[in-house]
Each structure stands twice: as C-alpha cells, then as structure tokens.
C-alpha cells in the first residue's frame, strides 16, 4: 500500500516541478558591446524603468547607475532602485536606468597592473 502512494506522490511532484520551469522574472535586457580599449566584447545587463503613463524613453531623461560586478549585484541594485523610486510611489529616488557590467577578468579590471595604489 505504501509503494503505490509513494509513486503517486513522486509523479505529482515531478510534474509540478516540470511545469514551473518556464516561469521567469525578467527585469532587463542582455546586450554586448565591443571595447576598443580592452579589445574584447563585454556583456552588459540593462534595466529601464517601466513607463506607466505612455511616455517614451526617448523623450524623457533618466539618471544612469553603472554597476560593476553586474552578474552579482544587478538584481539587488535594480530592486532597491525600483522600491525607492517614483515608480513605486516612494519618491526617495528618481526612476533610473541600471547598467550592469559583467567581468571577464576581475583581477585585471579592478587592480592596477603597475602595483601602485
């Protein structure tokens, strides 16, 4: 009696897990740019504020926040800005564009090669 119940439970559990794979929260766009200085492509993540009153992003100016270590801090910084911005009614911060810059070589990007501090 126990084995059939366990099999039914496992079948339902696996079906539920499979059904949730398509649910994603997307808060930005992924793009790449070529750096002439570094001679490489860099991946960036870009969040733009939602437009609730039908205005175009082209007609409106927004401050931009550049987030280094974008793959680690992009979601938290974007969430904080969303929570404190006028879009949420708080008016502590203005709505902002967030650009997360992903690293390719963190040591090279954040340290001086000459050894000076």
Give burial (CB, 10 Å; 0-12/13-18/19+) of 10. Answer: exposed
Does residue 34 come out as left (phi exceeding 0), alpha (psi in the -120 to 50 range) or beta?
beta
CB 44 within 8 A of CB 100: yes
End-to-end CA distance of the chain: 71
Q: For residue 102, what is the DSSP state?
A: P
Give pLDDT tens digits for 90-103.
788 888 999 999 98
Give pLDDT tens digits for 15-59.
444 444 567 778 889 999 998 988 899 999 999 987 545 556 567
């Amino acid at each position: 009696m126990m084995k059939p119940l366990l099999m039914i439970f496992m079948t339902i559990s696996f079906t539920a897990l499979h059904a949730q794979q398509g649910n994603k929260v997307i808060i930005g766009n992924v793009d790449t740019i070529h750096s002439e200085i570094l001679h490489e492509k860099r991946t960036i993540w870009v969040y733009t504020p939602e437009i609730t009153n039908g205005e175009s992003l082209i007609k409106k100016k927004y401050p931009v926040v550049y987030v280094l270590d974008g793959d680690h801090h992009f979601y938290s910084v974007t969430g904080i800005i969303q929570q404190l911005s006028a879009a949420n009614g708080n008016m502590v911060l203005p709505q902002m564009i967030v650009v997360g810059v992903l690293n390719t070589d963190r040591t090279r990007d954040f340290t001086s090669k000459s050894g000076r501090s």
